[in-house]
Amino acid sequence: MNSRAHRFVLLGIVVCTIVSLDQITKAYIANSMMLHESLAIIPGFFHLTYIRNPGAAFGIMGTTSSGFRLIFFFLTSLFAMGLLLTIFLRLDPRDWWGQLTIASIFGGAIGNFIDRIQYGEVIDFLDFFVKGYHWPAFNVADMAISVGVCSLLVLFAFDKRRSHLTPQEDSPLS
């Protein structure tokens, strides 16, 4: 198998793993808990709390009409997935970290896209908080997207730094 085929196998494995884990955990929560039910896993820090988020991250656009949200998120998701695929195809085939990063974001985007098509909203359930500080609930797809985006920022930062080095500074002997 050539390196191009390996890239797509890697993309497929990562995306399928994330989407499967995301959809299985969401189905488990939706079938075993009542909406808004909360189960303390680590009291005062982490609960499983079943909510549905009609908006984007942090509930942004959650109060706009459902028809507008459906069209907006459908088009935005398709655009984002197309952009991710373009970035993936332009990556150096030896850049495994970059490929894993894009595949992670892509898998998370598909996981939440499935929810939006199926329910018109996203199932969230991972609920972290400390005293009065509460992070909005999220899911496996959100984690994959967040970790992927952070990883992508690190990649871009190191690539930018490397491109500003002179050939001598870039040498492994310096």
In this structure, is residue 106 part of a structural domain? Answer: yes
How many domains is the chain built from? 1
Q: Which of the residues 22, 115, 127, 142 is marked catalytic?
A: 142
As a whole number of Å, the end-to-end CA separation of the chain is 37
In this structure, is residue 173 part of a structural domain? Answer: no
Q: Which of the residues 22, 124, 127, 170 is marked catalytic?
A: 124
At residue 156, the pLDDT reads: 80
In this structure, is residue 81 part of a structural domain? Answer: yes
At residue 72, the pLDDT reads: 79
Q: What is the pTM of this model?
A: 0.81
Residue 11 CA to residue 17 CA, distance in Å, equals 10
Q: Which two tokens stand for residue 52?
A: 């549905």
Residue 79: domain span? 3-28+35-158
In this structure, is residue 167 part of a structural domain? Answer: no
- In sequence order, which residues have a C-beta less than 8 Å from that of residue 156 and are 6 or more positions away? none
Q: What distance lies between CA 44 and its chain's CA centroid?
A: 26
- Annotation marks residue 95 as catalytic: no
- Annotation marks residue 142 as catalytic: yes
At residue 74, the pLDDT reads: 82
Q: Is 58 exposed, middle or buried (0-12, 13-18, 19+ CB in 10 A)?
A: exposed
At residue 132, the pLDDT reads: 82
Query: Residue with structure tokens 């098509």?
Result: 117
In this structure, is residue 16 part of a structural domain? Answer: yes
Please report, in tens digits, the pLDDT of each residue of the chain (174 residues total): 676 778 889 889 999 999 999 999 999 999 999 999 999 999 999 999 999 987 666 556 556 666 776 787 788 888 988 999 999 889 888 888 999 999 999 999 999 999 988 998 999 999 999 988 988 899 999 999 999 999 989 988 887 555 555 455 554 444
At residue 131, the pLDDT reads: 86
In this structure, is residue 51 part of a structural domain? Answer: yes
In this structure, is residue 170 part of a structural domain? Answer: no
Residue 52 CA to residue 29 CA, distance in Å, equals 11
At residue 174, the pLDDT reads: 45
In this structure, is residue 169 part of a structural domain? Answer: no
